[in-house]
Amino acid sequence: MLWKTLAASCRQAGLGDEPRQVFQALSEIALVDVVLPTRSGTVIRKRCISQPTKHQQILLQRLGRRLPTALESAAK
């Protein structure tokens, strides 16, 4: 189901019929959980997403998608 949906989105965006290449390029965008323990014992957690490459930015733009600017904190 996911592949067919992505294939349809790729066709509509003029990216061809092969969603695997688009998926491969976008799968390289990293999601990182940063955990910072403080002296008081509190733990600060921040979920960060890497900046896409120029190629990835173009793919996202053509697909009408954008990466979130902020994400929920990681679960404890």
Domain-embedded: residue 39: yes
Domain-embedded: residue 41: yes
> pLDDT tens digit string along 18-74?
888 998 999 999 988 889 999 999 999 888 898 999 999 999 999 999 888 777 665
Domain-embedded: residue 37: yes
pTM listed for this prediction: 0.73
Mapped onto helix, strand or coil, the DSSP state of residue 6 is: helix
Domain-embedded: residue 45: yes
Domain-embedded: residue 19: yes
- The residue range of the domain holding 13 is 2-63
Length of the chain: 76
Q: Tell me which residue of 60, 32, 58 sits closest to 47, measured CA to CA.
A: 32
Domain count for the chain: 1
For residue 17, how many C-alpha atoms fall within 13 Å in the half-sphere facing its CB?
0
Domain-embedded: residue 71: no
Please give the Cα distance from 75 to 64 (Å, whole number): 29
Domain-embedded: residue 69: no
